[in-house]
Amino acid sequence: GQELDSAKLLASAHLNLGVNLHSLGEIDESLHHSRQALALYHRMCATPMIGLSRNNIALALVENGELDACQSEADEAARLSEMCGGMYYLGETYQTLARCATKRHGVAEARAWAQKAVDEGARRGGTIDEAIGRRVLGGVLSHLGDHEGAAQQLATAMAVLKDTDPGEYARAKAESSRAHARRGELEAAAEKREQARTMLTTLGAAWDLIHLEDLAWI
């Protein structure tokens, strides 16, 4: 029992470190620790946590542009979530698949995955999760050139996140800035970009800051 408890603590430490390193922009290190967590959870036959680890690995792989590997990990994470009755990270996995599809220039496919993320958040009754899905959907619609649809999704997301999740609110503000820029509304883009920069700097969200003006990013 003591050995299992130690393994659980070590796996959790690797899992959380992987998430934090991702936020800091240390993507390779994030992958290393998420994979360490995955190996430990496999040894414990902890299926739900295996799925969560694969979800986190997919999140990092899409950042590295390793799209085939990302697709494989995200597909398996989704399968395990569904097998376990719909684990809470499933909407995030759908968001990753949407971002992966956008990088492959399959924006129609990306829209379908982003909508699934919104629907999953709504199904779970998770207002914040649904709002985060709308942030991703807004980014995808912006890439598609549906600027009105993008603005609507992002406005809805920000209205929910403003008083509930400062980090995700800052990310939605950043996405709104990029959407304005894609539309050619440079003054509005600059205003929201600086607001997002201030919030993300306070949060220490280095990876989001790196991509703040990257119009290809979601």
Per-residue pLDDT of 74-126, as tens digits, reads: 999 999 998 888 788 999 999 999 999 998 877 889 999 999 999 999 998 87
Residue 4 is classified by DSSP as: H
Tokens of 127: 């207002």
pTM of the model: 0.92
Contact of 208 with 200, CB cutoff 8 Å: yes
Q: How many beta carbons lie within 10 A of that of residue 40, not counting itself?
A: 22
Q: How far apart are CA 196 and CA 104, in angstroms?
A: 27
Q: What's the pLDDT at 1?
A: 63
Tokens of 48: 């739900």
| pLDDT of 212 higher than 80 | yes
Q: How far apart are CA 154 and CA 112, in angstroms?
A: 17
Contact of 19 with 56, CB cutoff 8 Å: yes
